[in-house]
């Protein structure tokens, strides 16, 4: 995937409104700023606005529901077009009334599909407009949080850990910046970045001086100037080539294959029916209309509408269950989860960390230790950013442990002590080393370094700490408490001048332990049981200590098995790690990178992996997972990285989400199985009947009406209730099962059609209108009522109740069908009054049919092999997923139409 330097001439080619990224990579940072006519302080606001107007939004997708596009999709079916054309022809040469009726019914079908799909698109649009992806941009020299879609070439952007790079950037400055670029290059190892120019003509993977749109900040931070946005960026180009449609989930691919199967069957039937009718010397147009109507009846036109209606209804239901999905298809992803990696704090524990006690090095309670903890502390009172040692007043924010220290009972009385110290420098907490340090100057003139952090880290830097410290620690860990250690060192005059660095955290003296409590969440054991019952394997990824994590899991009834630590993960190769993950349930002392690597490795095993986390340290793992889950109260980076947001950090809520996802799948499957069995069988009978009857077994308009009524009843399927066993396992699409179902149940339904034919011909001695009416009513009744048998594997009604909406819709449709021949519309539609005994026969047939289907069902599902199909997700899936971050409610503008703004180079993109 290399991009050769296409510029050729003396000047680099201008991307749409910017500079070609490979050219920018080769220039010095200053040169790039000059070319983009910007400065390290960013663009002035009005210039940025002007550029946005010329260049267009930094977007690859639009989430505006477009009525015309939805309508066009309804009309795209060649079958419908052919049928409409034939109906028009028939209007001029043959039956005017019949052609008109066909027209009306067709319009109604299209309208039904349109209405439902459009409504679902509006729901998707509403979802998107709730979600904003933002980035930190310098404008007029001041930092601002902007929607990524508002970025223009020349903007200066700040990158933080866990960010998705919002555009193609030429880096101006970095601090240990590493990007994970697998969406672009396929390379999963993160790449180190530096602002030094690279030789011209390098491939994308070698552009170390650039951060590319769509890639993820894996470590460090940086600043860069936007070189290209939207479709002009490398990622944009790829995403646009994939087309604008939403990513196809495996489910959708399955649906498409299934539709194709039916279309083929329909084509074969149409051609042979048409041939038979022509051979039998029937009127040409009638034969054509008849066969086309049958084909329309078979093809599952409402399938997209049923799926999107199901998804849209699903989002509403999920929202009531406190789960927000960012895109409709995320619901399906939720249902597919095989493995859930979750963090510990707040998910498995209460998440309200409280201070328990401070222990001195001798193991006795010690105010001095607490005082040190308050000195080395990053909590601030909201609106009180420049606080000295410790916040003055008001609501505290900052690291949870630090806030808990300030809320400790003794903290207030220590305030006078603390005020005698001045904080000279601070080395903030980071998740890599798991410690923080401050340099403080005491009133007596001495300067002290205070380090507070994970005990493993701190004790390793206290040469004199002996067995006493370790046994104190072991006792606290074994009790499942969260512990940090505090240590100090006197600072010499010379050292005081330099800035603090992690290297200063050495030769420390152990000063004691701070012990915190975060009790297990009472609701967690039940939620874990539910997830296990749903076939979701839960694994815990935490930065906390192994003993603590294992104890917690054991307390919650989650057998910890072997506990892996960050060291184990580092020591293992990729294949070995895959094996280890298999055996382990708890991963302790893992860093943000470990979390991401574990998730990636698990995904490679072909499983659907979800990750739940809420910290900055969780963002890259959220990006790496198939489904990233975060919570409403999480840090922005985590919320931004997630696909699904829980309004409450609670595994129970997540279990609801999984069930909803599977519900939708189960209900769509009902529609599919219906379409393949009864509907397909009916149409098959029509084909057979037309071969031996001297007249058309049903008028084309009657077939269409029959189909329209049937479809209407099907639209209630997404509301149906779902049996527990239908949501008990992760869902997998299985075309083989569908095909077998069709071949088995289709013929059963045909048998009853032929029985009807016999009854109509030999019992009622029916002429064409009566014959057609009888079959119309029978086929509508059997093919709609069979839903009650197909919707469950249990005994219908007794063991599994349908939803009220489905019950009403189905019964209404059957009644309408039966009553139609009694209405004034009857002559127009070619119906005739049915004799009363017919309804007796109909009743018997429906009962016999449903009975036979019940028996068949039992046999079929006993014989059906369990589907064990794994899934392969294509790289395109991830590209699509990430492209969704760059979406706008407005129109997209891409490619040549855009004029570049760079003076003298506004030639638009070359290609």
Give contact residues for ligand ATP (rule: CB under 6 A). Answer: 343-345, 399, 401-402, 429, 431, 434-436, 452-454, 484, 542-544, 615, 617
Closest CB to ligand ATP among 79 and 401?
A: 401
CB of 387 to ligand ATP, least distance (A): 16
> Which residues here bind Mg ion, judged by CB under 5 A?
343, 615
Q: Beta strand pairing status for 156-159 and 134-139?
A: antiparallel
Whether 343 is catalytic is: yes
Q: Residue number with the shortest CB distance to ligand ATP?
A: 543
Residue 84 Cα to chain centre, angstroms: 39
Six token digits for residue 695? 């007249």
Under a CB-based contact definition with an 8 Å cutoff, are residues 118 and 65 in contact? yes
Under a CB-based contact definition with an 8 Å cutoff, are residues 112 and 134 in contact? no
Under a CB-based contact definition with an 8 Å cutoff, are residues 420 and 443 in contact? yes
Using CA atoms, how far apart are residues 551 and 516, in angstroms rounded to an integer?
A: 15
Query: From the list Mg ion, ligand ATP, none, which binds 542 (C-beta under 5 to 8 Å, kind-based)?
Result: ligand ATP
Place of tokens 């910017």: 18
Closest CB to ligand ATP among 7 and 345?
A: 345
CB of 483 to ligand ATP, least distance (A): 7
Closest CB to ligand ATP among 124 and 598?
A: 598
Q: Quickly list H helices, 619-722.
A: 619-624, 636-641, 651-674, 680-692, 700-714
Closest CB to Mg ion among 403 and 785?
A: 403
Calculate helix-pair angle for 303-320, 250-279, nearest 10 degrees: 150
Which one, of 133, 142, 137, 83, lies nearest residue 107 by Cα? 83
Question: Residue 528 burial by CB count (10 A; 0-12/13-18/19+): exposed, middle or buried?
Answer: buried
Six token digits for residue 149? 């879609």
- What's the helix, strand, coil split of the chain in %, to 5? 50, 15, 35
Closest CB to Mg ion among 15 and 346?
A: 346
Closest CB to Mg ion among 218 and 344?
A: 344
Residues shown for the chain: 911
CB of 618 to Mg ion, least distance (A): 6
CB of 664 to Mg ion, least distance (A): 31
Closest CB to Mg ion among 156 and 353?
A: 353
Query: From the list ligand ATP, Mg ion, none, which binds 399 (C-beta under 5 to 8 Å, kind-based)?
Result: ligand ATP
CB of 223 to ligand ATP, least distance (A): 25
CB of 482 to Mg ion, least distance (A): 12
Place of tokens 């697998």: 182
CA distances to 112, 406, 636 from 592, rounded to whole Å, are: 49, 27, 16
Six token digits for residue 516? 């915190």
Using CA atoms, how far apart are residues 593 and 621, in angstroms rounded to an integer?
A: 8
Q: Is 880 helix (H, G, I), strand (E, B) or coil?
A: helix
CB of 543 to Mg ion, least distance (A): 7
Using CA atoms, how far apart are residues 875 and 186, in angstroms rounded to an integer?
A: 8
Query: From the list Mg ion, ligand ATP, none, which binds 434 (C-beta under 5 to 8 Å, kind-based)?
Result: ligand ATP
Q: Residue number with the shortest CB distance to Mg ion?
A: 615
| Residues with Cβ within 8 Å of residue 617, at least 6 apart in sequence | 161, 431, 543, 591, 592, 595
* Cβ count within 10 A of residue 77: 17
Query: From the list ligand ATP, Mg ion, none, which binds 569 (C-beta under 5 to 8 Å, kind-based)?
Result: none
Query: From the list ligand ATP, Mg ion, none, which binds 5 (C-beta under 5 to 8 Å, kind-based)?
Result: none
Closest CB to ligand ATP among 512 and 681?
A: 512
Closest CB to ligand ATP among 482 and 880?
A: 482
Question: Residue 533 burial by CB count (10 A; 0-12/13-18/19+): exposed, middle or buried?
Answer: exposed
Six token digits for residue 706? 């029959």
Q: Is 292 helix (H, G, I), strand (E, B) or coil?
A: helix
Task: For residue 264, give the H/E element and its range.
Answer: helix 250-279
CB of 515 to ligand ATP, least distance (A): 11
3-class SS string, 815-849: HHHHHHHHCCCHHHHCCCCCCHHHHHHHHHHHHHH
Six token digits for residue 827? 């002559």
CB of 345 to Mg ion, least distance (A): 5
Q: Beta strand pairing status for 210-211 and 216-228?
A: unpaired
Closest CB to Mg ion among 343 and 778?
A: 343
Residue 419 Cα to chain centre, angstroms: 50
CB of 549 to Mg ion, least distance (A): 12
Query: From the list ligand ATP, Mg ion, none, which binds 484 (C-beta under 5 to 8 Å, kind-based)?
Result: ligand ATP
Query: From the list ligand ATP, Mg ion, none, which binds 344 (C-beta under 5 to 8 Å, kind-based)?
Result: ligand ATP
Q: φ, ψ for residue 636 (rounded to 5)?
A: -55, -45
CB of 435 to ligand ATP, least distance (A): 6
Q: φ, ψ for residue 81 (rounded to 5)?
A: -60, -45
Which listed residue (163, 343, 518, 608) is catalytic? 343
Six token digits for residue 887? 């979406």
Closest CB to ligand ATP among 61 and 452?
A: 452
CB of 334 to ligand ATP, least distance (A): 21
Closest CB to ligand ATP among 452 and 882?
A: 452
CA distances to 18, 233, 612, 622 from 216, rounded to whole Å, are: 22, 15, 18, 11
> Catalytic residue positions?
343
């Amino acid at each position: 995937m290399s991009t050769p330097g296409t510029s050729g001439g003396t000047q680099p080619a201008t991307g749409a409104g910017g500079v070609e990224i490979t050219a920018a990579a080769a220039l010095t940072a200053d040169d790039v700023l000059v070319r983009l006519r910007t400065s390290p302080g960013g663009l002035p606001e009005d210039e940025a606005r002007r550029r946005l107007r010329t260049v267009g939004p930094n977007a690859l997708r639009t989430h505006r529901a477009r009525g015309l596009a939805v309508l066009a999709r309804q009309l795209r079916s060649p079958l419908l077009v052919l049928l409409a054309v034939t109906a028009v022809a028939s209007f001029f040469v043959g039956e005017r009334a019949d052609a008109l009726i066909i027209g009306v019914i067709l319009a109604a079908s299209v309208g039904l599909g349109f209405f439902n799909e459009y409504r679902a698109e509006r729901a998707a649009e509403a979802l998107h407009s709730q979600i904003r992806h933002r980035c930190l941009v310098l404008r007029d020299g001041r930092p601002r949080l902007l929607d990524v879609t508002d970025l223009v070439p020349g903007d200066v952007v700040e990158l933080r850990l866990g960010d998705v790079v919002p555009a193609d950037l030429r880096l101006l400055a970095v601090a240990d910046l590493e990007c994970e670029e697998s969406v672009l290059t396929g390379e999963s190892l993160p790449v180190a970045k530096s602002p030094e120019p690279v030789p011209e003509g390098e491939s994308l993977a070698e552009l170390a001086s650039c951060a590319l749109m769509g890639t993820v900040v894996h470590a460090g931070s940086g600043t860069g100037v936007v070189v290209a946005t939207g479709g002009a960026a490398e990622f944009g180009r790829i995403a646009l080539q994939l087309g604008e449609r939403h990513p196809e989930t495996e489910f959708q691919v399955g649906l498409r294959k299934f539709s194709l199967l039916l279309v083929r069957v329909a084509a074969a039937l149409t051609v042979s029916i048409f041939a038979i009718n022509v051979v039998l010397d029937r009127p040409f147009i009638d034969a054509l209309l008849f066969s086309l109507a049958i084909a329309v009846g078979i093809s599952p036109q409402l399938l997209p509408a049923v799926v999107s209606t199901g998804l849209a209804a699903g989002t509403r239901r999920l929202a009531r269950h406190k789960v927000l999905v960012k895109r409709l298809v995320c619901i399906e992803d939720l249902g597919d989860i095989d493995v859930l990696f979750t963090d510990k704090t707040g998910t498995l524990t209460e998440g309200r960390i409280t201070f328990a006690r401070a222990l001195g090095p001798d193991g006795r309670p010690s105010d001095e230790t607490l005082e040190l903890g308050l000195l080395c502390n990053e909590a601030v009172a909201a609106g009180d950013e420049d606080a000295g040692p410790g916040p003055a007043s008001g609501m505290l924010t900052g690291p949870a442990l630090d806030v808990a220290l300030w809320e400790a009972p003794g903290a207030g009385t220590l305030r006078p002590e603390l005020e005698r110290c001045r904080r000279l420098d601070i080395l903030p907490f980071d998740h890599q080393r798991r410690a923080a340090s401050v340099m403080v100057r005491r009133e007596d003139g001495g300067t002290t370094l205070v380090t507070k952090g994970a005990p493993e880290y701190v004790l390793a830097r206290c040469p004199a700490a002996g067995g006493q410290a370790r046994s104190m620690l072991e006792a606290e860990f074994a009790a499942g408490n969260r512990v940090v250690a505090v240590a100090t060192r006197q600072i010499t005059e010379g050292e005081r001048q330099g800035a603090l660095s992690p290297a200063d955290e050495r030769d420390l003296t152990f000063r004691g332990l701070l012990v915190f409590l975060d009790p297990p969440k009472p609701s967690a054991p039940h939620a874990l049981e539910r997830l296990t019952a749903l076939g979701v394997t839960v694994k815990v990824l935490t930065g906390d200590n192994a003993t603590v994590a294992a104890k917690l899991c054991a307390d919650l009834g989650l057998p910890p098995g072997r506990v892996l630590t960050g060291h184990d993960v580092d020591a293992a190769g990729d294949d070995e790690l895959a094996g280890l993950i298999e055996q382990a349930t708890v991963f302790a002392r893992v860093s943000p990178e470990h979390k991401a690597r574990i998730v990636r490795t698990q995904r490679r095993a072909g499983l659907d992996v979800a990750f739940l986390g809420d910290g900055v340290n969780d963002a890259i793992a959220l990006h790496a997972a198939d489904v990233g889950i975060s919570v409403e109260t999480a840090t922005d980076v985590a919320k931004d990285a997630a696909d699904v947001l829980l309004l409450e950090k609670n595994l129970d809520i997540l279990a609801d989400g999984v069930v909803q996802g599977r519900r939708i799948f189960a209900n769509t499957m009902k529609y599919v199985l219906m379409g393949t069995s009864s509907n397909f069988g009916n149409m098959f009978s029509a084909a057979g009947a037309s071969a031996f009857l001297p007249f058309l077994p049903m008028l084309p308009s009657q077939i269409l009406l029959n189909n329209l009524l049937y479809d209407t009843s099907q639209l209630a399927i997404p509301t149906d209730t779902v049996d527990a066993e239908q949501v008990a396992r992760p869902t997998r699409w299985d075309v083989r099962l569908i095909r077998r179902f069709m071949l088995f149940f289709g013929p059963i339904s045909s048998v009853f059609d032929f029985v009807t034919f016999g009854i109509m011909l030999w019992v009622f001695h029916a002429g064409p209108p009566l014959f057609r009416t009888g079959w119309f009513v029978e086929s509508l009744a059997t093919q709609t009522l069979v839903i009650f048998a197909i919707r469950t594997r249990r005994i219908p009604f007794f063991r599994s109740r349908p939803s009220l909406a489905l019950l009403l819709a189905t019964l209404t449709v059957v009644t309408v069908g039966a009553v139609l021949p009694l209405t004034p519309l009857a002559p127009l539609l070619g119906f005739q009054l049915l004799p009363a005994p017919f309804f007796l026969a109909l009743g018997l047939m429906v009962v016999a049919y449903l009975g036979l289907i019940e028996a068949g069902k039992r046999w079929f599902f006993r014989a059906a092999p369990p589907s064990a199909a794994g899934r392969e997700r294509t790289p395109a899936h991830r590209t699509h997923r990430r492209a969704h971050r760059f979406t706008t409610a407005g129109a997209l503008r891409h490619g040549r139409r855009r004029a570049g703004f760079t003076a003298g180079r506004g030639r638009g993109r070359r290609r």
